[in-house]
Amino acid sequence: MKIVLRLVWFCALAALGFWLWTICFPSAEKVILRKVASLAATATFRSGDGNLTRAGKVQKLTAMFAADAQIIIEGTGQGTRTLTGRDEIREAAMAGFGSLTSLKVEFLDMTLRIGDDRQTADVSCTARVNSGDAKDNGVQEMHFQFKKIDGTWLITRAETVKTLS
């Protein structure tokens, strides 16, 4: 009976240790997917959010990108726009946060591939964006490239993906 009790205690402690390990040291996959979800939450704001809240979101959003990151957006009928570096990304975010009444961003159907070097990653997803009082969602395929820089996963490239439709 003592052996069974000790075995149960050992298994419980091992399970607790494993659980704590996964909380304290999450896998790269979990960290990156959380970063993408955090990007969507940071880019989302309501009409009631003040300028200080929006400015804080701009700073947080900018910090998610590498210093030399690129964002390439190809809109229907608007041509291609490329933002290079944190400064351009910050300026565009400030302009967008200032000119829109509200914005809701969601990233759906995320697929992740970690590079063989475990220092790079690619995320493909569907972005659903609703701005202002528009009832229609803008839906666009997106691709993000991440790189681990000084121990932190940062976005080095974000781009819209041309679809066949």
Beta strand spans in 65-119 (E):
65-75, 79-84, 103-114
Q: Which has the closest alpha carbon to 146: 116, 124, 122, 112?
A: 122
Q: What pTM value is reported for the model?
A: 0.83
Domain definitions of the chain by residue range: 27-160
Q: 27-160: which CATH number, 3.40.1160.10, 3.10.450.50, 3.40.50.720, 3.40.50.300? A: 3.10.450.50
Residues 42 and 35 sit within 8 Å (Cβ to Cβ): no
Task: Kindly give the parts of the chain with pLDDT less than 50.
Answer: none
- Say what the pLDDT of residue 69 is: 97
Q: How many helices (H) and strands (E) does the chain have?
A: 4, 6
* Backbone torsions φ then ψ of 78, nearest 5 degrees: -110, 0
What is the reported pLDDT for 136? 66
The whole-angstrom separation of Cα 160 and Cα 100 is 21
